[in-house]
């Protein structure tokens, strides 16, 4: 298991307004803000991390909220749906909550034998709450309004929409150790047995789908989980041996990363468990103060003054 891909690590998407994004994920969905930092390449923009109590790999959805960015378009060559795992019997609670809070959602549906509730966030990002076929024992973050019996456990799956799935499927099976588990119409499910949850990648093959445009309401990249930097670099060698270009190891403060574009056009990342979100904040205080990478610390007051207010 050590030298394997352990399902999803995090997913990163784009939002158009910081406060609206923050309020939706922490208040409506009841996730924990586990880290509030800035885009390392653009420190005038926040980088939010939402997840469970500790920001466990497989629970982390991150956003770059770019104020005033245009609306993106969901389409081919991108991750197009994010699936969160919720307990059996909770979808009615969520549908009623979404009605009450005016969150756009569809009816409860079924796919691969699992019930799910599709909804969109305030930027139009497509998400699903899914009752996993596997009992999900992960401990959720809870709030006054979202109790343990209904709370989000972490990711269930990610859905990629592609013109052609063969080569991407081969990355998943031949490099990442996933196996093809089922096909349903144009959807093909890949799963890894190395981890209990956040272990599914679904591919929708749509040959004539318009390419996606990466802006507000769309996903930026999908990060897969490895346990440490040694495994990370082993995968780097494997990916290069298959003929792909990949970045050097990048220090993301809370994990180490590599990025490469898979043949279907989706930006894939590999990210480590170490060092994790408690490296610069006590576990009980995660997400409560603005954390800056060292190179920006001397500009703190200027950065804080330029960032949008969240209260
Ligand atoms: Zn990432």
Using the mean position of ligand 1's atoms as its centre, give its distance from the Cα of residue 252 in Å.
8
Using the mean position of ligand 1's atoms as its centre, give its distance from the Cα of residue 256 in Å.
10
Annotated domain spans of the chain: 8-306
Using the mean position of ligand 1's atoms as its centre, give its distance from the Cα of residue 222 in Å.
7
Return d(Cα 287, Cα 274) in angstroms, integer.
18
Report how far apart, in Å, the C-alpha atoms of 229 and of each of 7, 60, 249, 255 are: 16, 19, 9, 9
Using the mean position of ligand 1's atoms as its centre, give its distance from the Cα of residue 96 in Å.
32
CA 41-45-48 angle, 5° bins: 100
pLDDT tens, residue by residue, 106-159: 999 999 999 999 999 999 999 999 999 999 999 999 999 999 999 999 999 999
Using the mean position of ligand 1's atoms as its centre, give its distance from the Cα of residue 99 in Å.
32
Four-CA torsion 134, 168, 228, 47, nearest 10 degrees: -90
Q: 279 with 17: CB under 8 angstroms?
A: no
Return d(Cα 163, Cα 205) in angstroms, integer.
6
User: What is the pLDDT, as a whole number, of residue 311?
Assistant: 84
Four-CA torsion 215, 213, 9, 138, nearest 10 degrees: 80
Using the mean position of ligand 1's atoms as its centre, give its distance from the Cα of residue 165 in Å.
23
Using the mean position of ligand 1's atoms as its centre, give its distance from the Cα of residue 239 in Å.
18
Superfamily classification of domain 8-306 = 2,3-Dihydroxybiphenyl 1,2-Dioxygenase, domain 1 (3.10.180.10)
Ranges in the chain, pLDDT < 70: 1-2
Using the mean position of ligand 1's atoms as its centre, give its distance from the Cα of residue 158 in Å.
14
Q: In terms of pTM, does the model score above 0.75?
A: yes
Summarize the chain as % helix, strand, coil (round to 5): 20, 35, 45
Using the mean position of ligand 1's atoms as its centre, give its distance from the Cα of residue 113 in Å.
30
User: What is the pLDDT, as a whole number, of residue 198?
Assistant: 98
User: How high is the mean pLDDT of the chain?
Assistant: 97
Using the mean position of ligand 1's atoms as its centre, give its distance from the Cα of residue 93 in Å.
31
Return d(Cα 62, Cα 71) in angstroms, integer.
18
Which has the closest alpha carbon to 85: 53, 54, 116, 118? Answer: 116
Using the mean position of ligand 1's atoms as its centre, give its distance from the Cα of residue 8 in Å.
11
């Amino acid at each position: 298991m050590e030298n394997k891909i352990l399902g999803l690590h995090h997913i990163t998407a784009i939002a158009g307004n910081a406060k609206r994004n923050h309020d939706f994920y922490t208040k409506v969905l009841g996730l924990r803000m586990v880290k509030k930092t800035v885009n390392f390449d653009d420190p005038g923009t926040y980088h939010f991390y939402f997840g469970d109590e500790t920001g466990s790999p497989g629970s982390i959805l991150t956003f770059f909220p770019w104020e005033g960015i245009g609306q993106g378009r969901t389409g081919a060559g991108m991750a197009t749906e994010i699936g969160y795992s919720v307990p059996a019997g909770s979808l009615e609670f969520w549908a009623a909550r979404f009605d009450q809070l005016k969150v756009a959602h569809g009816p409860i549906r079924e796919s691969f034998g699992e019930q799910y509730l599709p909804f969109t966030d305030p930027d139009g990002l497509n998400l699903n709450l899914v009752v996993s076929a596997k009992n999900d024992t992960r401990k959720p973050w809870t709030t006054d309004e979202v109790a343990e019996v209904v709370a989000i456990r972490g990711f269930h799956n990610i859905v990629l929409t592609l013109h052609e799935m063969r080569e991407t499927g081969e990355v998943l099976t031949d490099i990442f150790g996933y196996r093809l588990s089922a096909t349903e119409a144009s959807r093909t499910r890949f799963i890894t047995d190395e981890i209990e949850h956040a272990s599914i990648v679904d591919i929708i093959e749509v040959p004539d789908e318009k390419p996606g445009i990466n802006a507000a309401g769309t996903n930026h990249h999908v990060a897969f989980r490895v346990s440490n930097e040694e495994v990370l670099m082993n995968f780097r060698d494997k990916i290069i041996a298959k003929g792909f270009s990949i970045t050097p190891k990048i220090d993301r403060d809370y994990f180490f990363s590599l990025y490469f574009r898979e043949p279907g056009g989706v930006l894939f990342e590999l990210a480590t468990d170490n060092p994790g979100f408690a490296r610069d904040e006590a576990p009980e205080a995660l997400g409560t103060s603005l954390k800056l990478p060292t190179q920006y610390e001397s500009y703190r007051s200027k950065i804080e003054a330029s960032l949008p207010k969240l209260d």
